[in-house]
């Protein structure tokens, strides 16, 4: 387990640390996995980035890919673009209040996002016990994407078999 550290010394207020730390740590972790070519070297490894939501994902992978394929990425040991590797082996857990979930799914594909309840953390108490309803009732998210986000992706990642259905 890696505990967030970025910004701990920069912001004395809990609010500022909470806003930035989890997301910055997720960005650095994804960059580290890509920069050290971990996923390409271990093609059966799946890595989840949890606690920072998922709205950052398309931007950050685009930024990593911009540098991977350009002058500053010449020393990258990866032979595949970061977004391609992430779409095959990575995932991020969405938060119930993320309004950009449909855009993230459109940009990353239905496989890249899983549902991640943060209960009993204080930020979720406003939504509990109906936080799943936000995704279920999202008019901009296709039914197949809802099912993948709420169940299929996690079942695939953790190799959970629903059993035989008739």
What is the per-residue pLDDT across 24-72, written as a single tens digit (0 to 9) for each? 889 999 999 998 899 999 999 999 998 889 999 999 999 999 988 777 7
pTM higher than 0.85 = no
Task: Give pLDDT, residue 18.
Answer: 76
The band of 7, judged by pLDDT with boundaries at 50, 70 and 90, is low
> How far is residue 15's CA from residue 98's CA, in Å, rounded to a whole number?
18
DSSP 149: I
Distance from the Cα of residue 51 to its chain's centroid: 9
At residue 1 the predicted structure's pLDDT band, cuts being 50, 70 and 90, is very low
């Amino acid at each position: 387990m890696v505990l967030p550290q970025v910004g701990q010394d920069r912001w004395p207020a809990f609010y500022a640390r909470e806003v930035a730390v989890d997301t910055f740590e997720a960005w650095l972790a994804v960059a580290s996995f890509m920069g050290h070519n971990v996923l390409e070297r271990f093609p059966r490894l799946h890595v989840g980035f949890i606690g920072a939501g998922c709205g950052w994902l398309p931007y950050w992978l685009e930024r990593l890919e911009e540098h991977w394929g350009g002058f500053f990425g010449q020393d990258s040991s990866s032979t595949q673009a970061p977004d391609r590797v992430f779409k095959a082996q990575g995932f991020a857990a969405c938060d119930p209040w993320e309004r950009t979930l449909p855009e993230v799914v459109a940009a990353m594909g239905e496989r890249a996002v899983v549902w991640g309840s943060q209960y009993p953390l204080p930020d979720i108490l406003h939504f509990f016990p109906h936080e799943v309803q936000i995704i279920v009732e999202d008019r901009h998210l296709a039914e197949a994407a809802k099912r993948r986000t709420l169940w299929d992706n996690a079942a695939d990642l953790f190799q959970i078999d629903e059993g035989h259905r008739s």
